[in-house]
Amino acid sequence: PSPDRPIVIVGSGLAGYTLLKEIRKRDAAVPVTLVTADDGAFYSKPKLSNALAAGKPAAALAGASAEKMAAEQNATVLAHTRVCAIDTQAQRIRTDRGELDYAGLVLALGADPIPHGLQGDGAADVLAVNDLADYAAFRAAIDGKRRVTVLGGGLIGCEFANDLAQAGFAVDVVHLGAWPLERLLPQEAGVRLADGLASLGVTWHFGRTAQRVEHAGEGYGVTLDDGATITTDVVLSAIGLRSRTRLARAAGLATGRGIQVNRLLEASVPNVYAIGDCAEVDGVVLPYVQPLMVQARALGATLTGAPTAAVYPAMPVVVKTPAHPVAVLPPTIGAAGGWKVECGDAGVCALHLDAAGQLQGFALTGAETGRRDALLKALAA
């Protein structure tokens, strides 16, 4: 890398900025330019779904500005700059503000909310929260309102439902599955989570999808596929995210569910890498903080001369639902075996065991989440 041909990181989310810090831990001087479409302020995305309980206004969630990050990390940060194309031959990116050559290019582009596809004259007002700017718009929308309908009872939907209900909003959650987080949790654990949120006042609509959103008085009517209508003030879509792959695909990089990279985080063309929510590492997209930290640490070493593969420890997913917390370590996809579920007053302890009784994963709820570390130790052994 040289000042004319630096390492270029695209994206100022946790993946992009964590990588920048990892590079700087190892090399104080190698030229790095970070390019980002947003304002480049550092923030922790997981805080967006518990900021009401934390008593934080949207503005309080922004950490260091782009200028401050650039100064602290001895890097160039180009905010409000969108990358439009990658020339992998010339090793050059085209942005809406000019071109930039790279020695190494790291795509840390994140993921987009899946379009909700709703009909009706209120469909365009449905919100999704995937960054700080979205969150500011969401907080403005709920200000002075009473009722919020959340579409999707996955991790993010459950967290927002908890935060909103705790803050006194009447919350409806429309969820296609028979219980929340049904792809991660066995039924008993999911039902307990649903009950915990219901005890805060959340109304569940299981096995349903929303079809239309129409203006109704000051608010909206949300029509479900069984014809029922929910009257609400704000509709928040949390039906899922998908990796941003378009830019990479257009440049001829291999993509699947994400930008395909190997354990060294190398894409299918030389000197291009991907990490975070946009990356499909060795066949798997893991859209959580802990994996992107592991990836950033490994790639930081690789880009400063010590090629290092991303090797994950056991990484439980923690759902921030104080009404009934959840910690789950899903078994690897396709693992044979089944759940052994114990339900107590305080929560559910579900262990995923193989035929020989060997622990492969777990799902803990309520007070049972306190067993997480002991189970991780048992797994490591």
Quote the least distance from Cβ 354 to ligand FAD, whole Å. Answer: 26
Show the beta-strand stretches assigned E in 45-97. 76-78, 83-87, 92-95
Q: Which of 7, 19, 23, 36 binds ligand FAD (CB under 6 A)?
A: 36
Enumerate residues 6+ apart whose C-beta is below 8 A from 244.
109, 110, 111, 112, 277, 278
Q: Which of 277, 316, 327, 362 binds ligand FAD (CB under 6 A)?
A: 277
Query: What x-and-dash track marks residues 152-181 binding ligand FAD by CB under 6 A?
Result: ----x--x----------------------
- Alpha-carbon distance of 268 to 256, in angstroms, equals 12
Q: Which of 12, 73, 91, 321 binds ligand FAD (CB under 6 A)?
A: 12
Q: Which of 33, 88, 130, 321 binds ligand FAD (CB under 6 A)?
A: 130
Quote the least distance from Cβ 232 to ligand FAD, whole Å. Answer: 20
Quote the least distance from Cβ 296 to ligand FAD, whole Å. Answer: 9
**10 in contact with ligand FAD (CB under 6 A):** yes
- Alpha-carbon distance of 112 to 128, in angstroms, equals 10
Query: What x-and-dash track marks residues 292-321 binding ligand FAD by CB under 6 A?
Result: x---------------------------x-
Residue number with CB closer to ligand FAD (82 or 242): 82
Quote the least distance from Cβ 77 to ligand FAD, whole Å. Answer: 11
CA 147 vs. chain centroid, Å, equals: 25
- Alpha-carbon distance of 90 to 212, in angstroms, equals 48
What are the residue ranges of helices labelled H in the chain?
14-26, 66-72, 132-142, 155-166, 187-199, 246-250, 289-303, 372-380
Tokens for 335, please give them.
């693992």
Tokens for 86, please give them.
């990658």
HSE of 168, CA atoms in CB hemisphere, 13 A: 6
Query: How are the residues of the chain apportioned to helix, strand and coil, as percentages rounded to the nearest 5?
Result: 30, 30, 45
Binding segment toward ligand FAD, per CB under 6 A, in 141-149, 179-187, 289-297, 299-307 = 289-297
Pairing of strands 111-113, 234-237: unpaired
Query: What x-and-dash track marks residues 72-111 binding ligand FAD by CB under 6 A?
Result: ----------xx------------------------xxx-
Residue number with CB closer to ligand FAD (65 or 231): 65
Tokens for 289, please give them.
């903080």
Query: What x-and-dash track marks residues 318-347 binding ligand FAD by CB under 6 A?
Result: --x---------------------------
Count of residues of this chain found to bind ligand FAD when the rule CB under 6 A is applied: 34
E strand or H helix that includes residue 80 = none
Enumerate residues 6+ apart whose C-beta is below 8 A from 124.
none
Q: How many CB atoms lie within 10 A of CB 177?
A: 15
Query: What residues make contact with ligand FAD under the rule CB under 6 A?
Result: 10-16, 35-38, 45-46, 48-49, 82-83, 108-110, 129-130, 156, 159, 244, 247, 276-277, 287-290, 292, 320
